[in-house]
Chains A and B, each alone.
Chain A
């Protein structure tokens, strides 16, 4: 399914290949291809086949606790997924969570990348400090925010409020008051370093002569940023946004750890997990899974276009 999407998007990027070799070379051609086959066959077997199975199961009314009552239901599961208010809410939550985290970490990452692109004392150390959040095991990071920062009784956030405001300081219960924001903050903290790294790579590939020339002509910092840096960074911003989206749409660890999907924070991956792992609704879970795939294909089509444009430059270089 995704393979078809990719072939259509890259058709225009194909590099010219020599004319078809004569039949005597057919053996040679297979010898060239052979090293590719193990990896290809493995990928098809482990990723594409299960998806086809999910697709088939999604058309059945099938609760694992009543295996004998399995019956074909057509698009019944899909209409149920789309009309169930809880499931509809999890679609909305997924979109909100992904958009908020990607946009915020992108903007923060851009600011940090611009700061880090300048020379200053200890730049290497600051870079290392900034990357650290991204290198924590995701469950560990989520536990850190849940217990060490957010805890209303002895968390660092309320501790700081206590320090500053004295004994009468407010001591909010962060996760109960703003559950989705609590998850988003922890994810922004983890993903900002990733965005910064990509954008820093983009900044460092800028043509420094062009910028110097613009400065000679009297361009201000803002003009250089607006008319040179930002257009150059555009593709890196797109790449960061799309890769971030692909990973965050699929986020399970933070939702599972911080709220266990409660308080209206269940996103689609968590809902799929819950509907088959706890509710044993195999058909419904599969239909929801297929919907996640459709959403991802929409994002992925854009993603592949961006990557293929970067790739085209790489090839032509």
Chain B
């Protein structure tokens, strides 16, 4: 028995070690972002170097270079607007597929899923040519449409499974009591499905915020998003390590917050509702 307990502690320690090892690069990034550029670029690294906000100050534009604010605002607009549009399109679809199943509903669900497997590069060129010819290049609303198409299949799948959890007898009972559709949706369906709908929205927001390829090809100066802004650091030579770290962390912050909030639903969403 004693032996087994010792082994249990050993495995717990191994888990801790693995957790720390995986988190180490991020911890190091946080530390570096609070160092001066000089201290950030020393080898061997200096753990005891004084902390400063210079990296963040530089990133937000007071240290020269382009301001990140327009790109942060663009990303916020694109992510929020496309999440909203996804909800408007996906909720009725999920409702039709779960609460009053249409015929061949599994086929419809699988059609949505199959579009998710169509690689982005498969349609990139026609979309680019279309945007160029219609003057939609460098326009944030084109990204909103594309991000909606990217997230809609996942949203339909997830919300379908959340709405299916609403017990049918409860709805029937409400119908017998003479409740109309809006009342049923507001009083019976919404309270049960709301947490799932919130999680789905967070996931759509994360995916839109993270997207690079469409944004890189279809936006330029005006509609540049935060990940495109980050690509400006790709060739940064040496001197701006603290600034790179500060920029990466600030731009990741909304995703980190949303991701930790939706941890469990995140798996379910990414596995397209297959894993509960």
A→B interface (CB under 8 Å): 2-3, 5-7, 9-10, 13-15, 17, 29, 32-36, 38-40, 42-43, 46-51, 53-54, 57, 111-112, 115-116, 118, 120-123, 125-140, 143-149, 151, 153-156, 158-160, 162-163, 171, 189, 192-194, 197-198, 201-202, 205, 236, 239, 243, 246, 249-250, 252-253, 256-257, 260, 268-269, 272-273, 276-277, 282, 285-286, 288-290, 292-293, 296-297, 299-300, 303-304, 307-308, 310-311, 314-315
Report the bound CA distance from A243 to B157 in whole Å.
15
Of all A-B residue pairs in the complex, the 7 with the closest CB atoms, nearest first, are A50-B123, A120-B12, A35-B92, A53-B126, A140-B248, A135-B259, A46-B149
Given contacts A42-B89, A120-B15, contact A285 B210 (CB under 8 A): no
Is the CB–CB distance between B106 and A193 below 8 Å? Answer: no
Is the CB–CB distance between A118 and B8 below 8 Å? Answer: yes
B153 to chain A, nearest CB (A): 7
Instruction: Considering the complex, give the chain B residue whose CB is closest to the CB of A13.
Output: B106
Residues of A close to B25: CB separation below 8 A:
133, 144-145, 148-149, 156, 189
Instruction: Considering the complex, give the chain A residue whose CB is closest to the CB of B164.
Output: A314
Given contacts A116-B15, A137-B248, contact A260 B234 (CB under 8 A): yes
Report the bound CA distance from A10 to B92 in whole Å.
23
Report the bound CA distance from A6 to B104 in whole Å.
13
B32 within 8 A of A: yes
B251 to chain A, nearest CB (A): 6
Q: State the majority secondary structure of interface residues on B.
A: helix
Residues of B close to A132: CB separation below 8 A:
22-23, 26, 256
B200 within 8 A of A: no
Residues of B close to A160: CB separation below 8 A:
44
Residues of B close to A50: CB separation below 8 A:
122-124, 126-127, 130
Among B121, B148, B226, the residue within 8 A (CB) of A289 is B121
Residues of B close to A139: CB separation below 8 A:
210, 212, 227, 230-231, 248
Residues of B close to A147: CB separation below 8 A:
233, 236, 241, 244
Report the bound CA distance from A5 to B275 in whole Å.
23
Beyond the given A137-B210, A289-B123, could you list 6 further A-B residue pairs with CB under 8 A, ordered by the A residue number?
A2-B115, A40-B111, A115-B18, A126-B16, A128-B263, A136-B252
Is the CB–CB distance between B274 and A239 below 8 Å? Answer: yes
Among A39, A129, A250, A257, the residue within 8 A (CB) of B93 is A39
Instruction: Considering the complex, give the chain A residue whose CB is closest to the CB of B41.
Output: A154
Is the CB–CB distance between B22 and A130 below 8 Å? Answer: yes
Is the CB–CB distance between B122 and A51 below 8 Å? Answer: yes
A155 to chain B, nearest CB (A): 8
B263 to chain A, nearest CB (A): 6
Tell me the B71-100 residues at the A interface (CB within 8 Å): 89-90, 92-93, 95-97, 100
| Binary flags per residue of B223-258, CB closer than 8 Å to A gives 1, else 0 | 000110011011010100100110111011001100
A311 to chain B, nearest CB (A): 7
Instruction: Considering the complex, give the chain B residue whose CB is closest to the CB of A44.
Output: B115
Q: State the majority secondary structure of interface residues on A.
A: helix
A139 to chain B, nearest CB (A): 5
B180 to chain A, nearest CB (A): 15
Is the CB–CB distance between A48 and B259 below 8 Å? Answer: no
Is the CB–CB distance between B267 and A201 below 8 Å? Answer: yes
Residue in A3, A140, A146, A154 with the greatest tally of chain B CB atoms within 10 Å: A140
Report the bound CA distance from A192 to B90 in whole Å.
30
Residues of A close to B236: CB separation below 8 A:
147
Residues of A close to B66: CB separation below 8 A:
none
| Binary flags per residue of B95-119, CB closer than 8 Å to A gives 1, else 0 | 1110010111011101111111111
Residues of B close to A299: CB separation below 8 A:
117
B134 within 8 A of A: no
B20 within 8 A of A: yes
| Binary flags per residue of B205-235, CB closer than 8 Å to A gives 1, else 0 | 0100110110011000000001100110110
Residues of A close to B245: CB separation below 8 A:
144, 148
Instruction: Considering the complex, give the chain B residue whose CB is closest to the CB of A246.
Output: B117
B273 to chain A, nearest CB (A): 8
B49 within 8 A of A: no
Among B233, B249, B260, the residue within 8 A (CB) of A128 is B260
Is the CB–CB distance between A14 and B209 below 8 Å? Answer: no
Given contacts A134-B259, A154-B241, A311-B274, contact A5 B209 (CB under 8 A): no
